[in-house]
Structure 1
Amino acid sequence: MSLAPPDSDERLFLRIVEAGSLKAAAAQLGSDPSSVSRRLAALETRLGQQLVRRSTRGSKPTEAGARYYEGLAQLVAQQDALEAAVAGGRDEPQGRLHVTAPPEFGVRFVVPVLEQLQRRYPALVVELALGTAFTNLAERGLDAAVRIGKLSDSSLRARKLGVVPRLLVASPAYLDAAGTPRSLAELPEHRVISYLTRSGVNRVRARTPRGDLREVEVRPVFTVNSISTLVRMVEGGAGINLAPRWAFADALAAGRVVALFEDHRFEAYPVQIVYPSRRYLPAKTRAFIESMADSLGRQPSLRQVRPGARRIGE
């Protein structure tokens, strides 16, 4: 395959996948949608494969289109880096960086990194999609995804950035009214509120000070897919929540909530960044990965703490 000049149909195809529709790609290029459609059709005719499914809701790559996107994006990134090196320039982050992250974690930890990265490299255009659904990176034109928890097997690569330690929290008002549980086994007797998970399973797992594993299944009286809502509910005395430590750091420090069973070590979730399995990653993706690793590595609330070592906020 010949290399792709800036105005090639190959680069146009990349733009369509990343923009999500022919109309959006045309707007970005300052072109007519019908012209973009004709050029895409010509590329598909040349390759003998339909690359993109068109619909009124947008455009998504076919299975063949996703494979073509993966390989083509890698070749184009290599070409751009080579041309920059030959021209005496540096392989600096540039172009469109499209990433995804969980909503509230993303606002707290990912947005500051992306803001700083874009200010450092003005030629970089950032697009952040906040969401928890794990989508096919190629289908969405994503360069990387920040995810919390265990990942399903895939062709993607993953780099661990840290962990999300968790702890049981409740407000003093709730404990005054309902009593403080003396053991994890008493949790089912209390009002438990929980983050809404896809599995629908709600278990509390923890290591005791002696290292024994304890597991208790609870039946939440309220589930919601919003961490900020859980914080507000716990502070208001709605019940007990097994929560990410970072979400309650301020409330713990201010005494609005208290941690239960601080001598236990509750199951923590890994924070990972996943990206396409390519031999060569564009400078923009490499810069984002390294910036995230550096930033999260300096976050006290994303480190596992030895039980009893200290309270949050100290």
Structure 2
Amino acid sequence: MQLFVCAVARGSLSAAGRELGFSPAVASKRMTRLEAALGVRLLQRSSRRLTLTAEGATYHERCVAILADVREAELAVTAGQAEARGLLHVSAPVDLGRRWVGPAAADFAAAHPELRVRVSLSDRVVDLLDAGVDVAVRIGALGDSRLVSRRLARSRRVVCGAPAYLARRGWPRALADLDAHACIVLQRPGMRALSWTFRTEEGLHTVRPAGRLVADSGDLVRDWAVAGHGLAFKSIWDVAADIDAGRLVPLLTDLPSRGSAVHVLYPSRRFQPARARLFVDFLAERFAAHEAAVLAAATPRAAPPAAPRRARPRPA
């Protein structure tokens, strides 16, 4: 079962064998023996990839739960020795991962010498069970009801632009002004472009900018904004350091975006290994320690006064 689940997570039977200490020949023989014992084919194997059969998908889901039960039983009799050890696989968006999750993971690994940490950064939503992820950190709406979530910190999105861009194009003073600006749009594969939603006195107001620059990477959106190519709508956790350093300026802060949060997700509360449980607690402390300072970066700032209109010369 461990070999089968690992092969699905790694996408390779040979890689799964190496991780568990088997040669490719032994791994192949064990998988063949498992399928023969069950009387069904679990995996369609080719030289390039593995694909779960319908029976394999059903068996995989049960195997994940059964192996978690085994780990829980082991922890029950070694509770006093539960330490962060083994491989911890963490997933996070690129921006948030580079600035917050990655450094936290490195610090956590430094404190636990028997732990190996693998951090996967991607702006697409990763299936934790299929990818073999222990812990995922995400911003915004949560979609997978199979997962357990814990809120790490409050968040919000903010419109921001580089000082050089604002000096060239002016500050937007109302939502309607965004139509005259170069807006940088985030659009993930297979999804609509991210809408910009704000809280106004009349309720929620959504803007769907038609930007000339579109990216499926939040990190690239930020880089373009810092370089002065236009305005971005970014999580404050992604751009707080840029705002504090003066590389970006928060705009329209009197019209806050719809509130959101940073969450950590994991497959099961009951069967969480010590390494994941301890890392979740470590992340919660790290985000709580910085939450006030990060949110303060989005406080309202006065725009420069509008340039006075030049008086038209009177005809002679």
TM-score, normalising length from structure 1? 0.82
Shift, 1:187, TM fit: 0.8
Retained in 1: the 8 A contact 2:96–2:237?
Answer: no
Alignment partner, residue 84 of structure 1? 78
- In the TM superposition, residue 301 of structure 1 has moved relative to its aligned partner by 6.8
Aligned-partner Cα distance in 2 for 1:248–1:82:
43
In the TM superposition, what whole-angstrom CA distance separates every residue of 1:253-303 from its partner, at most 9, and x where no partner exists?
A: 333332222222122432222221353321122112212222112223786
What is residue 272 of structure 2 aligned with on the other side? 281
**Contact kept in structure 1, 2:94 and 2:121, CA below 8 Å:** yes
Moved over 4 A (4+): 301-311
SS in 2 for 1:125: strand
Write out aligned runs for 1:43-192 (5 A): 43-59=34-50, 61=52, 62-85=56-79, 89-192=80-183
1:204 aligns with 2:196: yes
CA drift at 1:37: 1.3
Which residue does the alignment assign to 1:240? Answer: 231
Matched to 1:290, the amino acid is D
Instruction: Output the CA distance in 1 between the equivalents of 2:263 and 2:237.
Output: 16
Cα distance, 1:251 vs structure 2: 3.2
The Cα shift of 1:244 comes to 2.1
Q: Which runs of 5+ in 1 are unaligned?
A: 1-9
Partner Cα distance (1:130, 1:294) in 2: 21
One-letter identity of the residue aligned with 1:129: S
- Secondary structure of the residue aligned to 1:232 is helix
Can you list the C-alpha shifts for 1:21-75, whole angstroms capped at 9, x where unaligned?
2111222344321111111222233334444443333445531232133222212
Taking the aligned partners of 1:17 and 1:111, their CA distance within structure 2 comes to 25
Q: In 1, are the aligned partners of 2:172 and 2:178 still within 8 Å (CA)? A: yes
Given the superposition, is the C-alpha separation of residues 126 and 309 from structure 1 closer, same or farther in structure 2, using an over 3 Å criterion? same
CA contact (8 A) 1:66 1:139 kept: no
Aligned residues: 298
Partner of 1:264: helix, strand, or coil? coil
Letter in 2 for 1:158: S
Cα 1:235–1:15 shift into 2, 3 Å: closer
Moved more, 300-309 or 251-260: 300-309
Q: CA deviation at 1:184?
A: 0.6
2:313 aligned residue: none
**Amino acid of the structure 2 residue aligned with 1:297:** A
Instruction: Name whichever of 55-64 and 138-147 sits farther off.
Output: 55-64
1:75-130 Cα offsets, whole Å, 9 max, x none, are 22123213424xxx512222222221112211221122222222222222222222
SS of equivalent residue, structure 2 residue 281: helix
Which residue matches 1:256?
247
Supply the AA of the counterpart residue of 1:266.
S
Query: Could you say what secondary structure the match of 2:82 adopts?
Result: coil
Q: Tell whether the 8 Å contact from 1:50 to 1:64 is kept in structure 2 after alignment.
A: no
CA RMSD after TM alignment: 2.8
Which of residues 206, 211, 220 in structure 2 aligns to 1:229? 220
Please give the TM-score of this superposition, normalised by the length of structure 2.
0.82
3-state SS, counterpart of residue 299 of structure 1: helix
- Give the Å deviation of 1:309: 6.5
Instruction: Read off the aligned partner of 2:109 and give its amino acid letter.
Output: Q
1:25 aligns with 2:16: yes
Q: Are the counterparts in 2 of residues 165 and 303 from structure 1 also a CA contact under 8 Å? A: no
CA distance in 1, matches of 2:102, 2:274: 19
What secondary structure is seen at the aligned counterpart in 2 of 1:263?
coil
| Alpha-carbon distance change, 278 to 176 in structure 1, aligned in 2, over 3 angstroms | closer
Q: Which letter maps to 1:100? A: S
SS in 2 for 1:159: strand
